[in-house]
Structure 1
């Protein structure tokens, strides 16, 4: 939705859907760079690995989706309506990501 500038790093786990040619081509078309943890090493990308675990534990495993569209809408609602705007993150000083991002944008550049 934000239409980020080319070069934005897109973090994901090593799922086959993210390693697929189609996904890599989608990123390339938009000038985005992929970031994945090393094979068998979740610590390379620990923050995103934790995000996906939280998503599954806090939302996906709590639901029984009727179809893909319902799952996509619910997951989007979780990310936009809860995870980014209300869920507190210890790695961000116990702020939600949107608040942390706003605070960082107000700071003078290094």
Structure 2
């Protein structure tokens, strides 16, 4: 199943402060990132910890387990052979970071 590629599509926003949901275009997101837009529900700006954020669209058919396998999935890259057979995304991590990533959640120690 193919879907039209549309990077300019509207995005769904969710405010962490008041749980207000609404749809916006990319121009709105640009203004929001410049702190000239706020949540229409509570007025919270982008700098707050619980500020509105782009979130998933619960109506997206790609989130339906019974339909997802019928979609075509693509990845683009400027690297012709990406990913290579020996691709290791953790190769650039510091040893301390690698160690933390290998520990199960809840068992991590903070130094």
Q: Which is higher, the Rg of structure 1 or of structure 2?
A: 2
Structure (1/2) with the larger helix percentage: 1
Q: Note whether the superposition's TM-score is higher than 0.5.
A: no
Could you state the TM-score of these two structures normalised by the residue count of structure 2?
Answer: 0.23
